Structure 1
Amino acid sequence: MNPPLYIPFLLLFGFTQAQNALYNSGNIRIHPNGNLGFHTNLINDTAFDQNDGLAGFYGNATLQVEGSISPIFNDAEFMVSNDIFLQNSVNVQNNVNFVEGNVLSPLNDQTINLNFTSNGFFTGENDANKVTGFAAITDRQFFSFPVGDENQLRPLMLDSQSDTPLAFCAYFFENPSNPISIAESYNVEEKVRDIGTVNNKEFWIVQSDVPATVTVSWNQRSALGAIPNTTLDAIILVGWSKQSNQWVAIGNSAQSGDENQGFLTSQTFVPSDYEAITFGTVPLPTDTFAVNNPTLGNYFLSPNGDGTNDFLVIEGMSESPNNALRIFNRFGQKVFEKINYVDEFSGFTNSGSFLLNKDIGLPEGIYYYLATLDDLNLEYQGFIFLDR
């Protein structure tokens, strides 16, 4: 795409000017190699889709795009130092050039967004120039959403299993328990037991009906390092489940960095099953639950058929015949569950998404367990090292 093009006047063909805005009621078209510059608000109430050139938005004052019908541009350029606010979606077929200022949209209305269609892409994004609100894609499989808040670019990469007809994403540098931009709230204390802490600094909303992985990063202001005893391996992706109305573990397929700065790629999940996603941690021995509930001990398991440590035998479980045992991997995903446990676990899963590999056995590594002794009204946790 050519360098930023500042168009000092507007071609007044097929539209009229009214009250500091350009009202399009028809007969506007940007021809190949043509350029149309908007230096005032745009109100679009008719089809504006036969465009092959560049639509640019320029100026020092805040601009708005309004109307009942969303325009479709081939190329778009934003150079508005005090930001452009979308009250009507804008669709782009080719390149979006972020030159100066943010593209804002209502954070409480996911239907208004900057939409990148099947071949759309962007250039020039950074902390000062990005989408502060909802970005969307149509008919795409892989895309990195150039979203953030007023001060930082906080992108989310979506890698879907197939083309998604529609997906959208926004970033919130707000406490999920008490966000200021939306009416909904996602209490970080409402979580399943296999989550230690849910981050209260930021979250993303991403929606798509196609199974996908997401890649997101954390930095100093994410404040994950402030969570006691947080390590890289303890950081997981969590989501607010629409079904259970609580935070549940989504888990990771890859991660890198440390507790202060890094990124992770999630396990495959359906984004539309969750209202919001953010970072969480797996429970550690110093978490509140572990402090208030003693451990039965840590165990070594080597299910190789030699008669030694082939099965998980937890001392004390026999004192409470009405018990339950749950085992989780380091991502907080449940891999085994048994009511009235009697020394059955030998390294094979019977729970969750790992059932497809139940005949292979769980991979070597560290797992942790939660033991509930109902007869004694006690709960315990500890660690298991599985050796293959």
Structure 2
Amino acid sequence: MKFIIYICLMFVGNCYAQVAFQNYGNVQMHENAEVGFHIDLVNDGTFNENLGIAGFYSEDYSLSISGTEIPRFHDMEVDVVNHLFLDINTEIVNSVSYIVGDVITPRDNPNVSLDYLTDSFYVLEDDERNTDGYASYQGDLTFSFPIGDRDKLRPLITTNTVPNTTVKAAYFDEDPNTPSTFTTSFNTNSLESIVGVVSNLEFWDFNGPDNSVVTLTWDSESEIDNLAEDLRALRIVGWHIQDEEWKDLGNSGFSGTTSEGTINSIVFNPSEYEVLTFGALITEDDIDIANLVSPNGDGINEVFYIEGIEAFENELIIFNRWGSVVYQVDNYKNNWSGLANVNNVIKRHKKVPTGTYYYVLKLKDSNKSSAGWLYITY
């Protein structure tokens, strides 16, 4: 079988120059087979019971895989100077060797991808040899997607939490405010209250089951130091589809420096988020405290609002003008509308009178405090 396939491919190549090997029937590669494609592959038949190595080789021009039926290779080698383009999903049972060139999938069609099946792997990936576009993985192991964009490898790592489901990812080396292949933009100024800044340099598209955790990677071109000088403030953020804003997806662990490293998300549901990138929490300097409270039902100044307070472990104490405590809480949540919560000069759960009050806000991590006044009226 190895010999017959080799002759068939060479015959097509010799007769028609760079045309395509088109399969309408049932082709099968047996164990130890080595088949080299020096022309395009159009698969309109059965080509999914393969062992051995299928190689794509060209020193002069690009090659492509297309057709109506998905091919499945046991091992695949890519040695194509001007890249191997996938117009149809291509499945890998065991391994991919990125020797020369990228495997490129259409970024405007996430349904087309290089598909790694259970326990499959890859070797030799780097900035100039990776999957430029979408790759998928079906298995229950931790998998690092060999994805990149424009000569930049930027893996996304995840563990598939639901067996027999597929996770998929692509990396985009572009501004999320002006994405090239999405129908919407991802405004980096539309932020959850605890998020202070979001990268405008790159993002990932990730699709997976509920309760996923991902690890993102960066290098010096990510300019992480412009987001957070202290990596403890760095976050993975996701564009929330319904709320149309970037939300904090956590920092459950990180490694490296601002020049190169990795960061882990908390558990999240990818179906709620369009894309992912890097962000950072607001800093203490970003905290903004309003001093007017008017809980009268008009929707304006209904609570004592401290912008960004959710990002910090804190304690808030509010006093009346005689120094008596009327409200005290750990980890204030922007929900005080004038009700006392201590039995002091006013009964608990009763409204404090209209007037001027004073507060002390303590940030526990830095052991810093700030004090000021507020006015409440009904």
TM-score range, shorter chain: 0.7 to 0.9
Q: Identify the residue that residue 128 of structure 2 maps to in structure 1.
A: 128
Residue 294 of structure 1 deviates from its aligned partner by: 5.1
> What secondary structure, in the 3-state scheme, does the structure 2 residue paired with 1:11 have?
helix
Whole-Å separation in 1 of the counterparts to 2:175 and 2:302: 42
Cα-to-partner distance string for 1:272-324 (whole Å, 9 max, x where unaligned)? 2211000001011444xx4xx3589xxxxxxxxxxxxxxxxxxx989988435
Contact kept in structure 2, 1:370 and 1:381, CA below 8 Å: no
Structure 1 unaligned runs (5+)?
A: 1-6, 297-315, 348-368
TM-score, normalization: structure 1? 0.75
Cα deviation for residue 217 of structure 1 reads: 1.7
Q: Matched residue pairs, number?
A: 325
1:315-334 matched pairs, under 5 angstroms = 322-323=303-304, 327-329=309-311
Instruction: Note the C-alpha offset of 1:160.
Output: 3.1
Is the alpha carbon distance of 1:79 and 1:247 closer, same or farther for their aligned partners in structure 2, counting shifts above 3 Å? same
**Structure 2 counterparts to residues 102-141 of structure 1, below 5 A:** 102-141=102-141
Q: Percent same amino acid at aligned positions? A: 30
RMSD: 3.4
Q: Is the 8 A contact 2:45 2:69 kept in 1?
A: yes
Pairwise CA distance, 1:210? 3.6
Amino acid in structure 2 at the alignment position of 1:166: T
Q: Give the aligned partner of residue 34 of structure 1.
A: 33
Q: Secondary structure at the match of 1:196?
A: strand
**Closer, same or farther: CA 58–208 of 1 in aligned 2, 3 Å:** same
Q: 1:184/1:141 Cα in 2 relative to 1: closer, same or farther (>3 Å)?
A: farther
Aligned positions of 1:300-311 closer than 5 A: none
CA contact (8 A) 1:370 1:382 kept: no
- In structure 2, what is the equivalent of residue 186 of structure 1? 186
Does the aligned pair in 1 maintain the 2:139–2:166 contact within 8 Å? yes
> What pairs with 1:158-173 in structure 2 (closer than 5 Å)?
158-163=158-163, 165-173=165-173
Aligned-pair CA distance for 1:57: 0.3
The CA deviation at 1:142 is: 1.8
Which aligned pairs between 1:84-233 and structure 2 lie closer than 5 A? Answer: 84-163=84-163, 165-227=165-227, 230-233=229-232
State the distance in 2 between where 1:294 and 1:27 align. Answer: 71
**Deviation >6 Å, runs of 4+:** 15-19, 316-321, 334-337, 372-376
Deviation for aligned residue 1:382: 6.3
SS at match of 1:192: coil
Checking the alignment, whether the CA contact within 8 Å between 1:230 and 1:281 is kept in structure 2 is: no
The C-alpha deviation readout for 1:204-238, integer Å capped at 9, x for no partner, is 011002422111122211112124x6321111010
Deviations 1:305-344 (A, max 9, x none): xxxxxxxxxxx989988435685346xxx9999xxxx635
| 2:329 paired with 1:345 | yes
Q: Is 2:281–2:311's contact at 8 Å kept on the other side of the alignment?
A: no
Which stretch of the first structure deviates more once superposed, 209-218 or 26-35? 209-218
Given that 1:243 and 1:273 are in contact with CA atoms closer than 8 Å, whether structure 2 keeps it comes out as yes
Q: Which runs of 5+ in 2 are unaligned?
A: 296-300, 317-325, 339-354, 367-378
> What's 2:237 paired with?
238
1:160, 1:211 within 8 Å by CA — same for their partners in 2? no
Which has the greater radius of gyration? 2
Structure 2 counterpart of 1:301: none
1:385 equivalent to 2:364? Answer yes
TM-score (norm 2): 0.76
> Is the Cα contact below 8 Å between 1:231 and 1:258 reproduced in 2?
no
